[in-house]
Amino acid sequence: MKIKNEIIKTSILAGLFYILFISLKYLKIAPNIISFIMPMPIFFLSLRYSLIYTFVFLFLIFISGFVIESIGILLLIFLPVFIYKTVNKKILKNIIIILTTFISFLLMINFFGLKLPNKINSEFFMYITSILYSIFSTVYPILLKKLSEEVIDLISKYLD
């Protein structure tokens, strides 16, 4: 993106993604899928401003009434992306992502497990789901980074 001032870029991205999230949530157009692209601005910003973006965005979601969803988005979606961006060594990065995803998954199940149907709450299903989620969380930041690079290419192609 061509905006030089990081504060302005952070506020524009937070506002844009918040409006996108809220409007698609209320219109019920892919309400669960839209949460997966919310960490994309982390790759557009420096580490300091990506932390600011995360807290502002999650605070806006929290005060909009999506309390459980904001906690889930932070633990299950934003956390692996932050670890991917901050840790440089590949093996250490994957180990930390897998450990934090297991902890995040267990926290979400323990605190908000009552919201799940009884059939899904079985021990076998939770074990399989946690393994699949840890695999997803190691691949997800890579795919999101590729998507953000393509968005930057498209923006620069049409704005130049």
For 67-86, write each residue's pLDDT tens digit. Answer: 888 888 888 889 999 999 99
| pLDDT > 90? residue 157 | no
Closest to 96 in 3D by CA, of 125, 138, 126: 138
Tell me the pLDDT tens digit for each residue of 73-124: 888 889 999 999 999 898 999 999 999 998 988 888 888 777 777 777 777 8
The closest of 29, 38, 119 to 72, measured between CA atoms, is 38
Q: Which pLDDT does position 67 carry in this prediction?
A: 83
Q: What is the pTM of this model?
A: 0.83
d(CA 59, CA 18): 10
pLDDT confidence of residue 56: 92
| DSSP per residue, the chain | -----HHHHHHHHHHHHHHHHHHHHHHTSSTTTGGGGTTGGGGTS-HHHHHHHHHHHHHHHHHTT-HHHHHHIIIIIIHHHHHHHH---HHHHHHHHHHHHHHHHHHHHHHHGGGS-TTTTSHHHHHHHHHHHHHHHHHHHHHHHHHHHHHHHHHHHHH-
The domains found in the chain, sorted by start residue, are 6-159 (1.10.1760)
Sequence-distant contacts of 110-117: CB under 8 A, at least 24 apart: 112/68, 112/71, 112/72, 115/68
